[in-house]
């Protein structure tokens, strides 16, 4: 993926994850039923919008679980890298 700012990178990763979910023929309701991750958080992952998430630790856990369920665990390192950069840079809001 080309160098993007954090927000653009999360939006792009979310778009890729949504595509993978659709390829797996899973709805957000299906993911919710399997994981109990609220649909608003699943939408946030796919939209790259994390402002309503409780904490970065939850974001990482939700992303890991979501990607595993849709068969896209190969996206995990990139997602977690972008999220970790936000945690280590106090000038960047992690949400």
Compute the distance between CA of residue 79 and CA of residue 27 in angstroms, rounded to an integer. Answer: 21
pLDDT at 94: 46
**Per-residue model confidence (pLDDT) at position 86:** 61
Measured CA to CA, the distance from residue 53 to residue 68 in angstroms comes to: 19
Distance, CA of 23 to CA of 56 (rounded, Å):
28
d(CA 80, CA 95): 14
> Percent of the chain at pLDDT above 70?
85
- Segment 12-28, tens digit of pLDDT: 999 999 999 999 999 99
CA distance 65 to 88: 23
pTM above 0.75, yes or no: yes
């Amino acid at each position: 993926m080309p160098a993007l700012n954090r927000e653009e990178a999360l939006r792009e990763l979310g778009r890729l994850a949504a595509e993978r979910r659709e390829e797996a023929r899973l709805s957000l309701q299906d993911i919710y039923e399997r994981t109990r991750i609220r649909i608003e958080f699943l939408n946030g992952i796919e939209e790259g919008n994390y402002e309503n998430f409780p904490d970065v630790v939850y974001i990482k856990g939700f992303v890991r679980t979501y990607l595993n369920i849709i068969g896209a665990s190969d996206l995990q390192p990139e997602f977690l890298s972008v999220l970790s950069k936000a945690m280590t840079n106090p000038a960047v809001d992690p949400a």
